[in-house]
Amino acid sequence: MLPDAAEEVLDIMTGLETSLDLYNLKDKRGTRLFPEVPEGTKVNNLIFDSMASFGRVIMAYELYNSNDLKREIKIGPKLSIHIPKNFDAWNAEMQGVESIVMRAFALPVNVFCTFHERAEETPDSTMEKPKFTGRVSVFPVRYKDLLLKYFTDIWRVKLTQVISGSTVQFLPRVYVLPDFSMDSGTSMKLDAIEEPDISKMIAKHRSRISVPTQGPIVVKSLVKTS
């Protein structure tokens, strides 16, 4: 069967380009996707969570539609599995993902992408003998160029030991500045380590640049890795 998740994403993007009112968002049959929301409910943020899952959605769609990109393995009389045949499949996936993310950037909203992370391998690393640099990178690794080219903020979210009196906890903390382990970065005036609350981070940024706390603020793109 045709994988329909990618088509749903494209329908949503086309709808948002017509109207940011969630009430008006419809599928290709003209049915409202969110009939329960009141008219005038505006979309302010788009979140791709996670990019690895999003990439798999696009890959499944590309493989279904092009015999040149896939190998097909039949399992039983009704089930077929599509596997990328060559690097053209990965390139097609990357172009599909990049195209949709760039369409999101064109909208007057904040765009968030959640990336998983993995240990960064050295150039001579192999499946049989993996070698690592001691740093971390985004997963899938091929999305690193997308991350570095287009996003104003790259944040790393990780569990951090927090000691309060005799209590020791591991809590998520946001690392917004680069260090040896990862090339994080921010366009906002924040501390090196923040609590994972974006609204409070934006409020802190506003206060440090003397911007009133009321009214919208648009940061073209915010990224966190986890």
Summarised one tens digit per residue, pLDDT across range 52-86 is 999 999 999 999 988 899 998 888 888 888 899 98
Nearest to 3 by CA among 91, 109, 80: 80
DSSP 38: P
Instruction: For residue 8, give the H/E element and its range.
Output: helix 5-18
Residue with tokens 């994972």: 196
Confidence of residue 187 (pLDDT cuts 50, 70, 90): very high
Residue 26: its pLDDT value, please? 86
Let me know: does 208 contact 121? Beta carbons within 8 Å. no
Q: How many CB atoms lie within 10 A of CB 186?
A: 22
81 residue type, one letter: I
* Token code pair at residue 96: 């599909």
Work out the angle at residue 151's Cα, subtended by the Cα atoms of residues 178 and 189, and round it to the nearest 5 degrees. 55
Confidence of residue 223 (pLDDT cuts 50, 70, 90): very low
Residues 6+ apart with CB under 8 A from 67: none
Distance separating alpha carbons of residues 100 and 34, to the nearest angstrom = 21
Average pLDDT of the residues in 152-175: 92
Confidence of residue 193 (pLDDT cuts 50, 70, 90): very high
Confidence of residue 2 (pLDDT cuts 50, 70, 90): confident
For CA atoms 80, 83, 88, 91, give the dihedral sign. positive
For CA atoms 219, 47, 101, 22, give the dihedral sign. negative
Residue 224: its pLDDT value, please? 44
Distance separating alpha carbons of residues 54 and 61, to the nearest angstrom = 11
Provide, rounded to the nearest whole percent, the portion of the chain with pLDDT above 70: 92
Residue 220: its pLDDT value, please? 45
Residue 75: its pLDDT value, please? 87
Average pLDDT of the residues in 106-124: 93
* Token code pair at residue 187: 């366009």
Percentage helix, strand, coil, to 5, in the chain?
Answer: 35, 30, 35
Provide, rounded to the nearest whole percent, the portion of the chain with pLDDT above 90: 58
Average pLDDT of the residues in 131-152: 89
Nearest to 113 by CA among 26, 13, 217, 223: 223
Distance separating alpha carbons of residues 104 and 181, to the nearest angstrom = 29
Distance separating alpha carbons of residues 97 and 118, to the nearest angstrom = 20
Q: Is the pLDDT of residue 214 over 80?
A: no
Confidence of residue 225 (pLDDT cuts 50, 70, 90): very low
pTM: 0.81
